[in-house]
Amino acid sequence: MSTNNGLVQKLWNYCNVLRDDGMSYGDYVEQLTYLLFLKMADERTKAPYNQKSAVPEKFNWRSLFKKDGDELFDHYRHLLEGLGKEKGLLGLIFSKSKNAFQDPSKLRRLIVDLIDKEEWSSMSADVKGDAYEGLLEKNAQDTKSGAGQYFTPRPLIHAIVEVMAPQPDETVCDPACGTGGFLLAAQDYIVKHNLHLTKTQLKKLKGEIFKGWELVQSTARLCAMNLMLHGIGGDELPLVVADALAADPGDRFDLVLTNPPFGKKSSTTIVNGKGKSNKERDTIERDDFWATTSNKQLNFVQHVKTILKQNGRAAVVVPDNVLFEGGAGETIRRKLLHECDVHTLLRLPTGLFYAQGVKANVLFFDKKPASETPWTKKLWIYDLRTNKHCTLKTDPLNREDLNEFVTCYNPKNRQSRKNSWSEKCPEGRWRAYEFGEIINRDKASLDIFWLKDDSLEDSANLPDPDVIAQEIVEDLEAALDQFKTILADFTSQENGIEK
């Protein structure tokens, strides 16, 4: 059996062979997902598992292994079509699946030489899981695929999970789970920080305490495989392929950890009888929401508040507009500050995400019982953005970059936090603001900075030209997105007048 590094290397090497054939990282990961699922299902029909397979015999691993050449290609195509029509876990993995291979000999080689030679079911979850995670990250770096929007940088996830400190009997949800990073990090944290788990707790760690929603089918497929390779789920996975914002699911959770998709506001293109297209905003109207808006990120904040148990804890990655936008944004912030304890804000550096033009933060809050007085007493802000810039390839965010934040957050005793900023220490990145200061700001804005930006003060300290150029590109792209939204609004109004 391959060692961890050996397996990862084999997977990479074969990926590069297929890329020469025109297959993208995304295509490779998807094809690998289909074949790994079939191989693992076959393994579990044998000792010591002796389980009945959900895969029909005519489409099982052995049926693929026996064929070669054009016969293999035809069978593989029929297999994907057939399994894609199944319900449950099979449908989740194989729905809308297609053969991305150009050469049947390459498919045969992947089946016989790479996948069949490993015993995946008995392999450590760390080995096979890390290998698959590596492929997902590489796929996210492939900007043409657009997969980066579903991939949160792992150092950030690990720091968030560390300060949130999930416990063995707590339920954990991610309503926009992408490829499953937060759920897996929570599972890993619980296992590593609780060495004497009971049999009941270990069983719950297989899936009972986790729940994820993912809107995009192809991403949900990758998430499903990622969870399975890490030992989460059995015949059923704790994963729902649906729009989490569509309705209150009724479920309530102890922890919600999520990075909702950034980007344009929700809209639907409608073509009238004359062939004219018209974009209409998708506003979410729910009785449990404080305000009606088409801003997805604001809606996710409201949704997270709903699905938390009383005294439940949340960490939500949000773009800057959630902190300062007026109208519904102001209403939501004021309600959140009153009804929840909004205790911490982490301001993230630019260049952190694969989606261009994103300036993001992590908002931490606890849901509280009804009260006449506001639950938020003090908001602690850690500014990791000023004078700090990341790039995905040459200067990526490392877990060490978040060490001071984790220490300042003080998850074991939040009540004894101490400012690192003071008038005598103006460079401190950790500072508290009283509720009165925040609520009296224009629009109750949480868009707060206090550190001196060196690049604005001293031309000698300007960032490298490529960093400046990248920031200009990101700002222009963000502005362009906003102009497109405004234009869509005008177009929608004009078409409404025409009617």
- The confidence band for 279, taking pLDDT boundaries of 50, 70 and 90, is very low
The pLDDT assigned to 350 comes to: 86
In this prediction, residue 283 carries a pLDDT of: 77
28 vs 124: which has the higher pLDDT: 28
Query: Global pTM?
Result: 0.84
Give how far the C-alpha of residue 393 lies from the chain's centroid of Cα atoms, to the nearest Å.
20
Given a cut of 70, is residue 144 above it in pLDDT? Answer: no
Place of tokens 């070669």: 68
Q: State the pairing for strand pair 210-214/172-174.
A: parallel
**Which amino acid is it at 233?**
G
pLDDT over 50 at 269, yes or no: no
User: What is the pairing mode between strands 172-174 and 253-258?
Assistant: parallel
Q: What is the pLDDT of residue 127?
A: 79
Rounded distance, CA 435 to CA 378, Å? 5
H or E segment to which residue 346 belongs: strand 340-347
CB neighbours of residue 164 within 10 Å: 22
Tokens standing for residue 47: 């000792």
For the cut 60, the answer to whether the pLDDT of residue 4 exceeds it is no
**CA neighbor of 217 nearest in space, from 130, 150, 282:** 150
Phi then psi dihedrals of residue 141, to 5 deg? -75, -15
Position 468 pLDDT exceeds 80: no
Percent of the chain having pLDDT more than 90?
58
The closest alpha carbon to 414, from 374, 465, 455, 378, belongs to 378
CATH 1.20.1260.30 positions along the chain are: 4-125
Q: Which of 405, 453, 434 is nearest to 343 (CA)?
A: 434
Q: What pLDDT, on the 0 to 100 scale, is given for residue 210? A: 95
CATH of domain 4-125: 1.20.1260.30
User: 268: pLDDT confidence band, cut at 50, 70 and 90?
Assistant: very low
Predicted local distance difference test score (pLDDT) of residue 276 = 43
pLDDT at 63: 94
- What gap in Å lies between CA 380 and CA 468, rounded to an integer? 29
pLDDT of residue 357: 63
Q: Return the percentage of the chain with pLDDT > 70, whole number.
A: 83
pLDDT reported for residue 494: 59
What's 359's DSSP letter? -
Instruction: Using the predicted structure, report yes or no on whether residue 271 has a pLDDT greater than 60.
Output: no
Cα 78 off chain centre by: 32
Q: What is the mean pLDDT of residues 71-98?
A: 94
- Please report where in the chains the tokens 């293999």 appear, as a residue: 72
**What confidence score (pLDDT) does residue 306 get?**
98
Q: Where in the chain is the domain with CATH 3.40.50.150?
A: 137-462
Nearest to residue 209, comparing CAs of 226, 189, 225, 195?
189
Give the CA distances from residue 2 to residues 219, 366, 488, in Å, rounded to whole numbers and listed in that order.
28, 45, 54
Q: Which of 110, 131, 97, 111 is nearest to 226 (CA)?
A: 131
pLDDT tens-digit series, residues 187-237:
999 999 999 999 999 888 887 899 999 999 989 999 999 998 888 876 678
Count of C-beta atoms within a 10 Å radius of residue 61: 21
Measured distance CA(297)–CA(329) in Å, rounded = 10
Max mean pLDDT range (86-90, 120-124, 187-191): 187-191
Split at pLDDT 50, 70, 90, the class of 61 is very high
Whole-number pLDDT of residue 259: 94
Residue 456 or 191, more confident: 191
Q: Specify the CATH number for 137-462; select among 1.10.1200.10, 3.30.420.40, 3.40.140.10, 3.40.50.150.
A: 3.40.50.150
